[in-house]
Structure 1
């Protein structure tokens, strides 16, 4: 009887961990969010971008509900973002740059859906790169999700 009670306790505990999501990381489609700040000393100026990723194959990912936002207070710099993927050969594949071409008070770029990134090599992980265009250089940050097909 002790064994049965202990086994039941382990089963219940395991089910509880699964219910709250304390499981090993599993690659899956889903949401990505990334933010970059203009000034490292603080403040909220910069930009952010987010999208829902749908990995359709080992070499293809679709971006849905994708937005880019220039965050306030206004710093006078434009915010750009692009789709970005790490490939199995160690190289990166990049989509076209998109811009929130207004001020921080303007509407976001997007949301856009059905934007695809197709590559000639397997995609290990894909995500969004957002940058503040400082003129002489870009200040960027990137967030990725693993591809469940690779």
Structure 2
């Protein structure tokens, strides 16, 4: 009797949409990194984007934004995307520089799409503040984001 009632309840629940399979936890989401120039009264830099894995070989970085953190130190801030393929090789995007100075919003580069011939296992961001002479003053990495399709 209990088996029949349980079966009837499960059947009604399935038909009414109450039993919906839960998808695997996605690895998409916001990634960010920031750094301050050590031993200095100056600011630093930050990078922020929303990572959206589309499939095994394609990822979109939405609203990729690089920002010079105040107080202004007149040191350039730049950031890039780093990806790791499933075979362990890595690739990097071109550097994107904040051209908004010490503004509140930084420079938004819009959406950046990475599509390749090899599957992408994970991605992270790198931001750095560098001296005008080209030497790096400070840098930081975001946490890795794993591609849920690989």
Q: TM-score, normalised by structure 1?
A: 0.72
The answer for the alignment partner of 1:69 in structure 2 is 67
Deviation at 1:53, TM superposition (A): 0.8
Contact 2:82 2:123 (8 Å CA) reproduced: yes
The answer for the alignment partner of 1:141 in structure 2 is 140
The answer for the alignment partner of 1:51 in structure 2 is 49
User: Which has the larger displacement, 85-94 or 30-39?
Assistant: 85-94
The answer for the alignment partner of 1:132 in structure 2 is 129
Deviation at 1:120, TM superposition (A): 3.0
1:42 and 1:58 mapped to 2: Cα distance?
A: 42
Contact 2:42 2:72 (8 Å CA) reproduced: no
Q: How many residues align?
A: 124
1:44 and 1:75 mapped to 2: Cα distance?
A: 5
Deviation at 1:45, TM superposition (A): 1.2
Contact 1:61 1:126 (8 Å CA) reproduced: no
Contact 2:128 2:136 (8 Å CA) reproduced: no
Are 1:79 and 2:77 matched, yes or no? yes
Alignment of 1:1-150 (within 5 A): 26-39=25-38, 41=39, 45-105=43-103, 107-110=105-108, 112-113=110-111, 115-134=112-131, 135-137=134-136, 139-143=138-142, 144-150=144-150
Contact 2:37 2:137 (8 Å CA) reproduced: no
Whichever of the two has the greater Rg, that structure is: 2
1:98 and 1:138 mapped to 2: Cα distance?
A: 17
2:130 and 2:108 mapped to 1: Cα distance?
A: 19
2:116 and 2:129 mapped to 1: Cα distance?
A: 26
| Structure with a larger share of its residues in strand | 1
Q: TM-score, normalised by structure 2?
A: 0.72
1:89 and 1:139 mapped to 2: Cα distance?
A: 30
Runs of 4+ in 1 over 4 A off after TM superposition: none
Deviation at 1:107, TM superposition (A): 4.5
